[in-house]
Amino acid sequence: MGYDVIVIGLGGMGSAAAYHLAARGQRVLGLEKFTPAHDKGSSHGGSRIIRQSYFEDPAYVPLLLRAYELWDQLATDTGLEVYRLTGGLFMGPSDAVTVAGSQRASQVWDLAHEMLDASEIRRRFPTVTPYPGDIALYEAKAGFARPEMTVQAHLNLAENAGAELHFGEPVIEWSETGGGVSVTTARGTYTAGQLVICPGAWAPALLAEFGIPITIERQVLYWFDPRGGTTPFENHPIWIHEDATGMQAYGFPAIDGPGGGVKVAFFRKGIVCTPETIDRTVHDQEITEMRHRVGQVVPALDGPCLHSATCMYSNTPDEHFVIARHPDSQNITVACGFSGHGFKFVPIVGEILADLAIDGVTGHPISLFDPKRLVTT
């Protein structure tokens, strides 16, 4: 075998997998179709929310506790601010998933949190105007990670640990050979004992035979120029606000200096697309809608949109991840379907993928991510 492990896709998950595998002495080849830390997939746009009071399901919390240790380790190993804790405000009606789900996860795992009513939210965070009747869960350990910096950090660490990484080299096909795998690109064919596939939004193409139903969704990120300047937003908590219809909007502190604006977005308000058909133009009507929504919660952001960007979610039907050994192969591991909330898990997904590729099992609780729940063919 040419390599111990080939990793396809060196975005968020694949870069972390390449690092963890190489750090454990594996001979790793990483294959990426674009440039390092590019902006064509799902891991760009400057910031990603990290949080532990996980409204999606309390089952994620033990993974988050380990992910936070690994975020800290990554920051120490690189000397880079790959993440920052800012506190997080999760707001809405008391029965909103954002509030009630966060509270449930905090209670199940005894996570430090505070419950705030609308007047207390306004008093503590004068930039925020909750809707009448809103409450919030405040989590001091929430914050943000920097996706491009994180991907590049993992790539650098992987190379320092001996991984061979090829960029601008799309994988055309892969197959099993006797006891291993063979991967073909335009430049050649490579063999290895194990294959780890981290395809992001290209999962439907690269994992077609797997039968995992993944829908790709276009998302838009917006940077608004705060009225009155960025100063009140420099040490701002990250926030998620859910309205009575269940629509969630979220925002970050001003992390790009005085001219950089404040990033906001809708959590799930996308259009189904493919990486080939995604509309990369952000339309005036979308900006107007975002401005109106965000202006109701953070009035200073009801101003000029400095710039915007598009990005892709890879959604499973239940919005939980897929991380597993291929059901029919001892040589293939997949990580996909991160459904718009995967980045905060990047370091631990790298650790889990290394466990699965090397040992076939992981000690981390990943039964929620078993693809058998989704496979229809």
Ligand X SMILES: Cc1cc2nc3c(=O)[nH]c(=O)nc-3n(C[C@H](O)[C@H](O)[C@H](O)COP(=O)(O)OP(=O)(O)OC[C@H]3O[C@@H](n4cnc5c(N)ncnc54)[C@H](O)[C@@H]3O)c2cc1C
* Binding interface with ligand X (CB under 6 A): 8-14, 31-34, 41-43, 45, 48-49, 170-171, 198-202, 206, 219, 221, 265, 311-313, 338, 340-344
Q: How far is the CB of 245 from ligand X (least distance, A)?
A: 20
Q: How far is the CB of 185 from ligand X (least distance, A)?
A: 7
**How far, in Å, CA of 165 to CA of 44, rounded?**
20
Cα separation values, 145 from 6, 133, 170, 369, Å = 27, 31, 27, 23
Distance of CA 362 to the CA centre of its chain: 21
* Closest of 7, 2, 13, 1 to residue 336, by C-alpha: 13
Q: How far is the CB of 5 from ligand X (least distance, A)?
A: 15
- Between 171 and 358, CB nearer to ligand X: 171
Contacts of 185 (CB under 8 A, 6+ apart): 31, 166, 169, 170, 171, 172
- Between 168 and 360, CB nearer to ligand X: 168
Q: How far is the CB of 111 from ligand X (least distance, A)?
A: 17
- Between 41 and 101, CB nearer to ligand X: 41
The continuous run of DSSP H or E covering 234 comes out as helix 231-234
- Between 170 and 299, CB nearer to ligand X: 170
Q: How far is the CB of 117 from ligand X (least distance, A)?
A: 26
Q: How far is the CB of 200 from ligand X (least distance, A)?
A: 3
- Between 32 and 243, CB nearer to ligand X: 32
Q: How far is the CB of 228 from ligand X (least distance, A)?
A: 25
**How far, in Å, CA of 132 to CA of 158, rounded?**
50
Read off the DSSP letter of residue 311. Answer: E
- Between 45 and 94, CB nearer to ligand X: 45
Report the residue closest to ligand X, judged by CB.
Answer: 11
Q: How far is the CB of 311 from ligand X (least distance, A)?
A: 3
Contacts of 354 (CB under 8 A, 6+ apart): 17, 20, 21, 23, 24, 26
How many secondary structure helices (H) and strands (E) does the chain include? 9, 20
Instruction: Tally Cβ neighbours within 10 Å of residue 292.
Output: 10
**How far, in Å, CA of 236 to CA of 89, rounded?**
10
CB 249 within 8 A of CB 276: no
- Between 80 and 118, CB nearer to ligand X: 80
**How far, in Å, CA of 84 to CA of 251, rounded?**
14
